[in-house]
Amino acid sequence: MSDTIRVSMEELSPFLTECLEKGQEVLLTVTGNSMCPFLYHRRDQAVLRRVNGTALQPGDVCLYRRRSGQYVLHRVLVRDDGTTRRQLEKKKTLPSSLPAGVVRYTMLGDAQTDREPGIAPEQIVAQAVAFHRKDKVWPCDSHAYCRYVRWWYRLLPVRGMLIPLYHLPGRIGRSCRRLLGERK
C-alpha cells in the first residue's frame, strides 16, 4: 500500500504558506516535465524554504504563482532590479530598463526555451534549497550542482534541439517494447 497522497496545489497552498511562514522547510514532489533533465515528474522532490522575493539571483530555483493562479517551479534566468540586469551565465551586468527599486525576474524551465519575463517578488512563494533525486540529496549551493547548472545553461541556444535528442533513447525503448509485445 502506498503512503502517497496526491492533492492539488490549490488545496496544498494554505498548508504550504503556513509551514513556510513558521520557518519550516517543505518537501514537495515535482510534477510536470518543465525542469527535465534536472527534475523528473513524480520522481524527484524539491526542498522549499521561505525567501525574500527580492533576494533571488540568476540560477536559483523558486516556486512562484503566475497571475493565472498556477504554481510553477522554475529557475531564475534574469534578475532586473532597476539599476542592473543580471543574467545567468553572462559575465557582465547590463543597465536596467526598470525604475530604480523595482525588481522583476525572468524565469525559465530547464526543459524549455520560452522565457517568462515580468515575475514580481510578491509572486515568489519559496526558494528551493535542495533536491531529492534518485535517493540522493543535492544541495543547491553544492559545487557539483552549480557546475551542472552552468553547463546546462551554456547550451541554452541549442536546447531546442537537445531536448528531443535527450528523450530519444526512451522513445526508442518504448517503441521496441510495444513492437515486441505485439508479436507475442
Domain span at residue 25 reads 9-157
Report d(CA 120, CA 43) in Å as an integer: 29
Q: Quick check: is 113 in a domain?
A: yes
Of 47, 11, 12, 14, whose CA–CA distance to 29 is shortest? 47
What pLDDT is recorded for position 1?
A: 45
Q: Hey, what's the cell of 163?
A: 531536448
Amino acid, single-letter form, for residue 34: S
Q: What percent of the chain has pLDDT over 90?
A: 52
Q: Quick check: is 180 in a domain?
A: no
- How much is the mean pLDDT over the chain? 87
Check whether the bond before 14 is cis (ω within 30° of 0): no
Name the least confident of 47-51, 91-95, 131-135: 91-95
**Contact between residue 108 and residue 77 where contact means Cβ atoms under 8 Å apart:** yes
**Contact between residue 81 and residue 103 where contact means Cβ atoms under 8 Å apart:** yes
Report d(CA 38, CA 140) in Å as an integer: 12
What pLDDT is recorded for position 89?
A: 66
Q: Quick check: is 149 in a domain?
A: yes
**Which residues lie across from 27 on neighbouring strands?**
47
Domain count, the chain: 1
Examine the pLDDT at 48 and tell me if it is beyond 80: yes
Quick one: average pLDDT of 61-67? Answer: 96
Burial 17-34 (b: 16+ CB within 10 A, else e): eebbeeeeebebebeebb
Q: Quick check: is 81 in a domain?
A: yes
Phi, psi (degrees; rounded to nearest 5) at 107: -105, 155
Q: Quick check: is 182 in a domain?
A: no
Q: Quick check: is 102 in a domain?
A: yes
Determine which helix (DSSP H) or strand (DSSP E) holds 84, and give its type and residue range: strand 84-87
Higher pLDDT, 150 or 49: 49
Residue 115: how many other CB atoms lie within 10 Å: 14
pLDDT in tens, 127-150: 999 999 988 999 999 999 999 888
What pLDDT is recorded for position 171?
A: 80
Quick one: average pLDDT of 2-22? Answer: 85
Whichever domain contains 94, its CATH number is: 2.10.109.10
Using alpha carbons only, how large is the chain's radius of gyration in Å?
Answer: 18
**Apex CA 14: angle with CA 62 and CA 108, to 5°?**
20
Quick one: average pLDDT of 34-59? Answer: 92
What pLDDT is recorded for position 183?
A: 55
